[in-house]
């Protein structure tokens, strides 16, 4: 983020010819409270936006169709240029959306709409056309801090500020290495993203059910069994999540998340899934399996597993995970 700070300072830093930005929001309101998925620790909780098809291509296609129509609609010249953006460029969508009147950035730093609540996917159309600005939306959070208090990992050092290093969404999606040990127990069964701060917002009483069928939750992504997910090889992972944003995270990080949830499940019947993954070719998965087992099996059994697997472990980080877990188990 430090490397791209200058590019995020203004849309013109990305495209000097830009004169206006049209911001759009697509409602993806869920058909149930996503916090219900946290009730069964033997099953995984997937963020609402990732339970259906990948929104990136979907929203981009809608933006392109709108962009092709709105230039003639506003009477612009034929040489007007447009570019569309959906998360893939360092464009500050949320403050732009607030400036355009779609909503305001709440204390959880996400956009909140008085009509749609917290469930909005944002897209932007930048254009060389000069357009009159809409009025910005004012902040309606007041003294409420429900979103801040809902965060399982304490990722908000202050209202309107987020420490991404503690955010479950960052840790389970973007973070590439082992999840910090102190945060693992706090993640619970969240295996891809987190909706807690969004779901806690009282403005969601005005939220509406999303109408885009491709964003609707697939049944297999509502509360998938952790044991089933732990058995996915690379080909099975790609097939299962072929049209999902989860596919971009890859099997390795996804199974790291699944094993973290298994370690948090308190269910000894899942220990066999973790033990089998001690032999996985990927060090990140083996290390997560070590931690999960340290939480599920008695210390003596864990020590016996270490005596079998630790001497031949080639990865220094996994060996360190064994050593730290053995100390904790003891």
Q: Is residue 122 located within the same domain as residue 10? A: yes
From first CA to last CA, the distance across the chain in angstroms is 40
pLDDT confidence of residue 76: 62
Q: Is residue 146 part of a domain?
A: no
Q: Is residue 110 part of a domain?
A: yes
**Among the three residues 76, 97, 127, which one is the final residue of a domain in this structure?**
127
Six-digit token pair at 66? 């709108």
Domain count, the chain: 2
Q: Is residue 220 part of a domain?
A: no
Average pLDDT over residues 89-115: 95
User: Over 80: is that where the pLDDT of 200 sits?
Assistant: yes
Q: Is residue 157 part of a domain?
A: no
**Residue 5: which pLDDT band, with cuts at 50, 70 and 90?**
confident
Q: What does DSSP assign to residue 225?
A: B
User: Over 80: is that where the pLDDT of 72 sits?
Assistant: no
**Among the three residues 111, 127, 143, which one is the final residue of a domain in this structure?**
127
Cβ contact 111:122 at 8 Å: yes
Q: Is residue 9 located within the same domain as residue 122? A: yes
**Among the three residues 100, 127, 154, which one is the final residue of a domain in this structure?**
127
User: Over 70: is that where the pLDDT of 75 sits?
Assistant: no
pLDDT confidence of residue 7: 86
Q: pLDDT tens digit string along 54-70?
A: 999 999 999 999 998 87
Q: Is residue 166 part of a domain?
A: no
Strand partners, 125: 22, 84
Annotated active-site positions, please? Answer: 87
Q: Is residue 210 part of a domain?
A: no
> Residue 259: which of 243, 283, 235 has the closest Cα?
283
**Residue 77: which pLDDT band, with cuts at 50, 70 and 90?**
low
Q: Is residue 101 part of a domain?
A: yes
Question: What torsion do the CA atoms of 257, 259, 265, 269 make, to the nearest 10 degrees?
Answer: 150
Higher pLDDT, 88 or 317: 317
Distance CA 255, CA 264 (A): 14
Q: What is the extent of the structural domain holding 74?
A: 5-31+47-127
Q: pLDDT tens digit string along 244-259?
A: 999 999 999 999 999 9
Q: Is residue 188 part of a domain?
A: no
Six-digit token pair at 40? 């069964």
Query: 20-27 and 45-46 as β-strands: parallel, antiparallel, unpaired?
Result: unpaired
């Amino acid at each position: 983020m430090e490397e791209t700070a200058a590019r995020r300072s203004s849309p013109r830093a990305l495209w000097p010819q830009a004169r206006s930005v049209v911001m759009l929001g697509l409602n993806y309101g869920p058909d149930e409270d996503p916090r219900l998925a946290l009730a069964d620790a033997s099953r995984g909780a997937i963020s609402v936006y990732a339970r259906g098809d990948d929104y990136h291509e979907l929203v981009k296609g809608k933006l392109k169709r709108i962009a092709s129509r709105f230039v003639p609609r506003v009477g612009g010249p034929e040489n007007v240029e447009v570019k569309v953006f959906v998360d893939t460029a360092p464009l500050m969508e949320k403050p732009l959306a607030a400036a355009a009147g779609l909503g305001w950035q709440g204390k959880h730093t996400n956009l909140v709409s008085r009509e749609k609540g917290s469930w909005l996917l944002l897209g932007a159309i930048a254009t060389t056309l000069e357009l009159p600005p809409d009025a910005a939306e004012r902040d309606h959070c007041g003294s409420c801090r429900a979103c801040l208090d809902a965060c399982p990992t304490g990722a908000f050092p202050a209202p309107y500020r987020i420490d991404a290093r503690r955010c479950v969404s960052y840790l389970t999606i973007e973070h590439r290495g082992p999840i910090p040990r102190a945060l693992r127990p706090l993640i619970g069964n969240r295996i891809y993203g987190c909706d807690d701060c969004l779901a806690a917002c009282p403005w969601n009483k005005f939220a509406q059910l999303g109408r885009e069928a491709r964003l609707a939750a697939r049944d297999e992504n509502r509360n998938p069994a952790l044991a089933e997910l732990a058995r996915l090889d690379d080909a099975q992972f790609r097939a299962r999540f072929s049209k999902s944003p989860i596919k971009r995270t890859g099997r390795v990080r996804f199974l790291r998340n699944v094993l973290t949830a298994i370690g948090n499940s308190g269910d000894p019947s899942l220990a066999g899934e973790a033990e089998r993954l001690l032999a996985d070719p990927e060090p990140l998965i083996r290390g997560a399996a070590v931690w999960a087992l340290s939480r599920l099996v008695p210390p003596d059994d864990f020590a016996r597993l270490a005596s079998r697997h630790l001497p031949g472990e080639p990865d220094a980080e996994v060996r360190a995970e064994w050593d730290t877990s053995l100390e904790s188990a003891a």
